[in-house]
Amino acid sequence: MHRICKAAIAALWFMLLTLPVLGIKLNTVTNTVVWRFDRILALGAGIFVLAVIWDWCFSRKAAGQPLVHLPQGFSLAGLLEAFRNSAGLRWGGIALLAVVLVGMPLVGSFYQTNIMISALLYVMLALGLNIVVGLAGQLVLGYVAFYAIGAYTYGLLNQFFGLGFWACLPIGGFLTVLFGLGLGFPVLRLRGDYLAIVTLGFGEIVRLTLQNWSSVTGGPRGVSDIPRPGFFGMQMDIAASTTYIYYLVLAAVIITIVVISRLKNSRVGLALQALREDEIACEAMGVDITRVKLSAFALGSCWAGFAGVIFAAKTTYINPSSFTFMESAMILSMVVLGGMGSIAGVVIAALILILAPEYLRAFSDYRMLLFGAIMVIMMLFRPQGLISGERRRYRISALHGNEGDRS
Amino acid sequence: MNAPVLEVTDLSQDFGGLRALNELSLTVGTAEIVALIGPNGAGKTTFFNCVTGIYTPTEGKMYLHDAAGEKHLLNGRKPHLITAMGMARTFQNIRLFSEMTVLENVMIGRHCRTKAGIMGAIARDGRTRREEQDTIDRSYALLELVKLQEFWNETAHNLPYGAQRRLEIARAMATEPRMLLLDEPAAGMNPQETNELKELVCSIRDKQGLSILLIEHDMGMVMSLSDRIYVMEYGSCIATGTPAEIRTNPRVIKAYLGESDA
């Protein structure tokens, strides 16, 4: 009953607020005011229903119950756990995934392959940012700058020196690491909000430089006619070359996942996580935080560099408007939505956030609205992200014996 | 007192106009348990922060002796280097890596005694894997020492309070220190836990020959555990001696209880 009352009040309040905008129309032909009460009532009814659902959701949350009753013992983390426990399930899953991913460009259309390429590029970006934000806890808002540096490295080196894709890929990675370290040094002492503001500024500086340094970067016109990657000198048409890039990105993503998961579970990865938890304790336990922070920046930024080079090769045309703050925010949302530090979660979130808007083009007018709503609901009801609390397995000799010791 | 491990002379620390430490001198010998007591705000934790490199003292010298008896100046060194030289500490307001597991917390302590870098982590060669397994096993052994082995895969913040304090000790021990600084280890513990803690501290000293400097308000523990006691008030050392001497020292009684004939 209380819930109905609250919802009714919310609906009334909304009707009142929107009355001037939605309810009154001026007919300029006859110079009369038209009252459109039907619209207001429809809106009120809609708000009423939404408010009841909203309130119900919160009461469930307050009672500590899940919003949706999943079948007994079912959860994303549980599913992952099952995958880790059963070798058959794991290899079956991987094989299925491999078939789908490898077969995608053969079955899917040119358009779908293209979408998939950009989704996979974002997976790479999100995984890179995940090192800095998710593992090391350094809030970086200008991450897209590294992506831009990678892309422009290829674009400009090709334009001025005629360097090819394969030469630029390592150079792009190396340059972004340098920029990452360059950004890392001055911000060593900063944390939290201050770090966020400085890195936001860094992102804007890079974008504005690209936009205004016309003699080198081409300014807002950007760099065009960037060659697609070659395959032992073979000439390919657009479709074949897109398929080729697709496999290239797929390989790059797999390498990224392998490398980052190994890093995450290593001595360095542990130090990164300790840095996120408590800087002072970290120092007192003998961790050189300067070094660890700089490694975090270097390790995080290099993936954006690689992704940038591939992006330039894929689109053959780059300009500064591809590297706005919106992109940084998007990549950050992938990390947050996926669950800080979780590799599987971030991959899933990146795929959802890129693919969903593409396949929701039918509702193109509402897709950003939907996107925003999903983010708000997610943060209210599952702030820890899709997957959280993944735990590494340790084998303790004293408990599990020495058998199967691979060392 | 046998060969000194920690030697501090005339240490002063100013915060603006406030003198938090005033010409404090202190020595801790090998395998000695020394307590630092005094009313709240006397500067005990400030002293810990100076010695571990978190603060840079205004004046005075601090030395740590290595196993060969050589003196190393601590002034101006970064905290992680001081830890690598053999100084480890716990914190008054527990500072565990709370989202990480109990075992991982201890493993971080091994950081300065291991070498694997980024390349090793990516390649996972034999040496890196052996080092990692060694870190895991040694960390587990330390958890056995503080009797937390059954919780090894628990998230640190889920541990009860007393267990968290013991975990901090295990984490500090993982750095292979010569000198262990304990900042109010018994705070918030019940009498039984305090007794277990006393046994733990004694066994660390007896079995591993560590020197221990202890800040503590639980007088029972201080008196029964320590070889010598330093008493601080307003940043200065007002008395030093064995527990029996301190118990009867009029200045100490005055500092703790106020004037008797007011």
Break chain B into its structural domains and give their ranges.
Answer: 1-86+177-262, 97-175
Put simply, the answer to whether B118 touches A263 (Cβ < 8 Å) is yes
Parent domain of A32: 2-62
Q: Does B193 touch chain A (CB under 8 A)?
A: no
Among A74-78, A366-370, B89-93, top mean pLDDT goes to B89-93
Put simply, the answer to whether A285 touches B54 (Cβ < 8 Å) is no
Percent of chain A with pLDDT strictly greater than 70: 94
Total structural domains within chain A: 2
Answer yes or no: is pLDDT of A406 > 50. no
Mean pLDDT of chain A: 86
**Could you tell me if residue A279 is inside a domain?**
yes
Q: Does A41 touch chain B (CB under 8 A)?
A: no
- By mean pLDDT, which of A42-51, A64-73, B71-80 is the weakest? A64-73
pLDDT grade for A28, boundaries at 50, 70 and 90: confident
Are residues A369 and A228 part of one domain? yes
Q: Of A136 and A188, which is predicted with more confidence?
A: A136
Put simply, the answer to whether B91 touches A399 (Cβ < 8 Å) is no
State both tokens at A331: 């990549």
Instruction: Identify the DSSP state of A223.
Output: B
**Could you tell me if residue A399 is inside a domain?**
no
The pLDDT of A170-174, averaged and rounded, is 94
pLDDT grade for A388, boundaries at 50, 70 and 90: confident
Are residues A18 and A165 part of one domain? no
pLDDT grade for A331, boundaries at 50, 70 and 90: very high
By Cβ distance, the residue of B79, B108, B130 closest to A271 is B108
Residue A339: predicted pLDDT: 87
Are residues A349 and A290 part of one domain? yes
Residue A190: predicted pLDDT: 85
Residue B97: predicted pLDDT: 93
Residue A35: predicted pLDDT: 84
Put simply, the answer to whether A280 touches B137 (Cβ < 8 Å) is no
pLDDT grade for A341, boundaries at 50, 70 and 90: confident
Answer yes or no: is pLDDT of A126 > 90. yes
Q: Which residue on chain B is closest to A285 by alpha carbon?
A: B109
Residue A309 belongs to domain with CATH number: 1.10.3470
Rounded to 10 degrees, the C-alpha dihedral A238/A243/A245/A251 comes to -170
pLDDT grade for B14, boundaries at 50, 70 and 90: very high
Answer yes or no: is pLDDT of A260 > 90. yes
**Could you tell me if residue A192 is inside a domain?**
yes
CA distance B96 to chain A (A): 7
Residue A378: predicted pLDDT: 82
Q: Does B177 touch chain A (CB under 8 A)?
A: no
Answer yes or no: is pLDDT of B132 > 80. yes
Helix (H) or strand (E) holding B241: strand B236-241
The yes/no answer on whether domain B1-86+177-262 falls in CATH 3.40.50.300 is yes
pLDDT grade for B261, boundaries at 50, 70 and 90: low
* pTM score of the predicted model: 0.86
**Could you tell me if residue A79 is inside a domain?**
no
Are residues A43 and A192 part of one domain? no
Put simply, the answer to whether B109 touches A286 (Cβ < 8 Å) is yes
Q: Does A396 touch chain B (CB under 8 A)?
A: yes
By Cβ distance, the residue of A270, A283, A295 closest to B104 is A270
Q: Of A222 and A388, which is predicted with more confidence?
A: A222
Count Cβ atoms below 10 Å from residue B161 Cβ, excluding itself. Answer: 12
Put simply, the answer to whether A396 touches B128 (Cβ < 8 Å) is no
Helix (H) or strand (E) holding B5: strand B4-15
Answer yes or no: is pLDDT of A6 > 90. no
Put simply, the answer to whether A273 touches B97 (Cβ < 8 Å) is yes
**Could you tell me if residue A264 is inside a domain?**
yes
By Cβ distance, the residue of B54, B118, B140 closest to A396 is B140
Are residues A20 and A136 part of one domain? no
Answer yes or no: is pLDDT of B92 > 60. yes
The pLDDT of A243-264, averaged and rounded, is 93
Answer yes or no: is pLDDT of B44 > 50. yes
**Could you tell me if residue A395 is inside a domain?**
no
Check if the beta carbon of residue A394 is closer than 8 Å to that of residue A266.
no
Residue B262: predicted pLDDT: 45
Answer yes or no: is pLDDT of B252 > 70. yes
Residue A407: predicted pLDDT: 38
CA distance B192 to chain A (A): 28
Residue A375: predicted pLDDT: 80
Answer yes or no: is pLDDT of A405 > 70. no
Answer yes or no: is pLDDT of A172 > 90. yes
Residue A75: predicted pLDDT: 65
Answer yes or no: is pLDDT of A87 > 80. no
Put simply, the answer to whether A266 touches B100 (Cβ < 8 Å) is no
Residue A29: predicted pLDDT: 85
Question: How far, in Å, CA of A219 to CA of A212, rounded?
Answer: 5
Question: How far, in Å, CA of B101 to CA of B103, rounded?
Answer: 5
Mean pLDDT of chain B: 90
The pLDDT of B6-35, averaged and rounded, is 92
Are residues A181 and A105 part of one domain? yes
Among A224-238, A332-346, B244-258, top mean pLDDT goes to A332-346
Put simply, the answer to whether B111 touches A286 (Cβ < 8 Å) is yes
pLDDT grade for A3, boundaries at 50, 70 and 90: confident
Report the SS3 class of residue A32.
strand
Answer yes or no: is pLDDT of A70 > 70. no
Q: Does B78 touch chain A (CB under 8 A)?
A: yes
Residue A144: predicted pLDDT: 95
Answer yes or no: is pLDDT of B213 > 90. yes
The DSSP secondary structure of B130-193, one letter per residue, reads HHHHHHHHHHHHHHHHTT-GGGTTSBGGGS-HHHHHHHHHHHHHTT--SEEEEESTTTT--HHH
Neighboring chain B residues of A396 at a CB cutoff of 8 Å: 103, 136-137, 140, 152
Are residues A159 and A37 part of one domain? no
The DSSP secondary structure of B26-76, one letter per residue, reads EEEETT-EEEEE-STTSSHHHHHHHHTTSS--SEEEEEEE-TTS-EEE-TT
CA distance A261 to chain B (A): 9
CA distance B240 to chain A (A): 28
pLDDT grade for A20, boundaries at 50, 70 and 90: confident
Neighboring chain B residues of A395 at a CB cutoff of 8 Å: 133, 136
Question: How far, in Å, CA of A221 to CA of A211, rounded?
Answer: 8
**Could you tell me if residue A226 is inside a domain?**
yes
Check if the beta carbon of residue B24 is closer than 8 Å to that of residue B13.
no
Q: Does B124 touch chain A (CB under 8 A)?
A: yes
* Beta-strand pair B33-37/B179-183: unpaired
Residue A77: predicted pLDDT: 66
Put simply, the answer to whether B111 touches A267 (Cβ < 8 Å) is yes
User: Each residue of A276-326: pLDDT tens digit?
Assistant: 999 999 999 999 999 999 999 999 999 999 999 999 999 999 999 999 998
Question: Which contacts (CB < 8 Å, 24+ apart) does range A379-385 have?
Answer: A379/A336, A380/A61, A381/A57, A381/A61, A381/A67, A384/A339, A384/A340, A385/A336, A385/A337, A385/A338, A385/A339, A385/A340, A385/A342, A385/A345, A385/A349
Interface of B with A in 129-148 (CB under 8 A): 129-133, 135-137, 140-141, 144
pLDDT grade for B187, boundaries at 50, 70 and 90: confident
By Cβ distance, the residue of A277, A286, A295 closest to B100 is A277
pLDDT grade for B45, boundaries at 50, 70 and 90: very high
**Could you tell me if residue A312 is inside a domain?**
yes
